[in-house]
Amino acid sequence: MKKYSTKWIVQRITSILLIPLCFWFIYNCISFRNYGYDEIIVFFNSYINSFVFLVFMISMLIHSKIGLETIIDDYFSSNSFKPLILWLINLISYGAVLISLVSIFILSINL
């Protein structure tokens, strides 16, 4: 993503999306302390909860990826390490999205 205006718009959209999703996640994490293992599995077996959690994870990862890229572009002056750091950010971000997708998919298969 090289267009800075597109990055800015996506950053704002994901931040607006993350506001209610963070409240949902925090509320459920607080209620998880009263749940047993089986109840947490039942929670994530729900398609709605799995979908909302997946949207939360993907939007959080996109938001953080764009933020980290902006920080590296703005404040990192060494051109020799910049491509390596940006490559690592992409690798970690896409890897985390892939792990999230596979985890939710495997959990939904085991219904």
Class of domain 4-109: mainly alpha
First to last CA, the chain: 38
101: Cβ–Cβ under 8 A, 6 or more apart, which residues?
Answer: 54
Whether 29 has a pLDDT exceeding 80, the answer reads yes
Q: 65, exposed or middle or buried, with CB in 10 Å at 0-12, 13-18, 19+?
A: buried
pTM of the model: 0.82
Alpha-carbon gap, residue 43 to 5, rounded angstroms: 38
19: three-class secondary structure by DSSP: helix
Residue 94, pLDDT score: 92
For residue range 34-88, what is the model confidence (pLDDT) as tens digits?
898 888 888 888 889 888 998 999 999 999 999 999 899 888 887 888 888 999 9
Residue 22, pLDDT score: 95
Tokens (6 digits) for 63: 């938001």
| Number of C-beta neighbours around residue 25 at 10 A | 16
User: In terms of pLDDT, which residue wins out, 26 or 47?
Assistant: 26
Residue 104, pLDDT score: 80
Q: Which residue ranges make up each domain of the chain?
A: 4-109
Alpha-carbon gap, residue 44 to 51, rounded angstroms: 9
What is the average pLDDT score of the chain? Answer: 88
What is the total residue count of the chain? 111
